[in-house]
Amino acid sequence: MKTTDTYTLNVSLGHLASRFSRTVLRRFNLVLVEQGIPITAEQYSLLVQLWECNGLAQGALAEKTAKDKTTMARLAAGLESRDLIVRLPSPDDARERLLYLTDNGKQLMDRATKLARGILDEAQQGIPAADLDTCREVLRRAYANLCK
């Protein structure tokens, strides 16, 4: 988009990405409630990080999920109270907490991830794989441009 072009939401990458994200999160939260899974989409994003790299430091997890430390502590406490994660002192620094999925957390992640995949499959219906790959690459590059 050139600077002389008229700005419209329909062509704004930020608006389109945000609208899609909000719609997916709203649907995911609804499905989680319907299925009796006691987490929110926000909590799921934290659990996904632990699913990929169990034992992350709470501070590193806050950074990976773009959450401030207070929000991360609140989310972690809620997940810990449901026996989905455990926070243990780091062997290198007793002030630092490492977060681990519990067995209950792993079982919940299996169920929740199937639901998340179903929503994304629905959203991607009729879109060629090459277009989806291009979309992912464009979003990664736009994100990287802002994080320089």
**pLDDT digit string (tens) for 78-115?**
999 999 999 999 898 888 899 999 999 999 999 999 99
Q: In this predicted model, what pLDDT tens digit does every residue of 119-133 receive, in sequence order?
A: 999 999 999 999 999
> Is residue 63 a contact partner of residue 75, using CB atoms and an 8 Å limit?
no
What is the pLDDT at residue 3? Answer: 56
What is the pLDDT at residue 10? Answer: 83
Q: Is the pLDDT of residue 1 over 60?
A: no
Q: Is the pLDDT of residue 31 over 80?
A: yes
What is the pLDDT at residue 148? Answer: 82
H or E segment and range at residue 18:
helix 13-34
Main-chain phi, psi angles of 86, to 5 degrees: -130, 140
Q: In this predicted model, what pLDDT tens digit does every residue of 46-87 receive, in sequence order?
A: 999 999 999 999 999 999 988 998 999 999 999 999 999 999
What is the Cα–Cα distance from 143 to 141, expressed in whole angstroms? 5
Q: Is the pLDDT of residue 5 over 70?
A: no
The residue behind tokens 């794989």 is 129
Q: Is the pLDDT of residue 8 over 90?
A: no
Q: Is the pLDDT of residue 2 over 70?
A: no
Q: In what order do the strands lie in the sheet with 56-57?
A: 56-57, 97-101, 85-89
**What band does 40 get if pLDDT is binned at 50, 70 and 90?**
very high
Q: Which domains does the chain have, with CATH numbers?
A: 13-116 (1.10.10.10)
